[in-house]
Structure 1
Amino acid sequence: MCQEPHKHTCLVSRAKAHILENDKLDPLCDIFKVLSDPTRMRIILALVDTEMCVCDLADVAESSQSNISHQLRQMRQTGIVKSRKEGKSVFYSLDDDHIKTIIVQAVNHVAHMR
């Protein structure tokens, strides 16, 4: 509890400038919800530097192809992964470099935690 009953208006104004409107805040929260699942994180980490098909991702994530397909569908809806069809095969990759940057930075942060 604050000891003094005044607001630090400059600090409050600066902090409020970083708060997004709900039309942007909700999708941001959705991205972090999707990233919070260990299976989805394994998929994302596998896709950091390459694209892969569902059967290979299932092997990497040690999960069923059905589960991987379900997880990929959720990640596509939030713009985390994209797909590319080649003949009968579908290959998945991270949607863009922004997602890769978020993941790489998070991995670096965890690697340097005590």
Structure 2
Amino acid sequence: MSEIFRLLGDPTRLGILLCCLEEAKAVGRIADELSLQQTSVSRHLRLLRGAGLVARERDGKWVFYRVGDDHVRSILANVVAHLDEEADV
């Protein structure tokens, strides 16, 4: 569990997860949207994939990444809801 939270605690990895929350995206698109180098995004995706936080889908020569499953979506949604709640206080 601590490994999952360590991975989620990195701002770049968290940004990548949020970027892939609604739809699967290729490394280049993620890099462009987050203003990161593709090599950096690939390295972070490897770690996220190893922990099951993202999944990849192959379409011909292209590989697309998306948030791993509904459990990961739920974690992210709960954190966002918590932050929204804190902002209202």
TM-score w.r.t. the length of structure 1 is 0.74
1:36 aligned to 2:36? Answer: no
Instruction: Show CA shifts across 1:17-69 (max 9, x none).
Output: xxxxxxxxxxx111100000111111111111111000000012210000000
Aligned twin of 2:74: 101
Distance in 2, matches of 1:97 and 1:77, equals: 17
Which has a greater percent of helix? 2
Distance in 1, matches of 2:85 and 2:32, equals: 28
1:110 aligned to 2:78? Answer: no
Distance in 2, matches of 1:37 and 1:60, equals: 17
- For residue 113 of structure 1, report the CA deviation from its aligned partner: 1.0
Provide the aligned C-alpha RMSD in A.
0.8
Q: In structure 1, the residue corresponding to 2:86 is in which secondary structure?
A: coil
1:73-92 superposed matches below 5 A: 73-92=46-65
Distance in 2, matches of 1:80 and 1:99, equals: 6
The ranges of structure 1 where at least 4 consecutive aligned residues each deviate by more than 6 angstroms after the TM superposition are none
1:6-17 superposed matches below 5 A: none
Equivalent residues, number: 87
**Structure 2: 5+ residue stretches without partners:** none
Greater relative CO, 1 or 2 (CA 8 Å, sep 6+): 2
The structure having more radius of gyration, on CA atoms, is 1
For 1:75, the aligned partner's letter is: L
Q: In structure 2, the residue corresponding to 1:48 is in which secondary structure?
A: coil
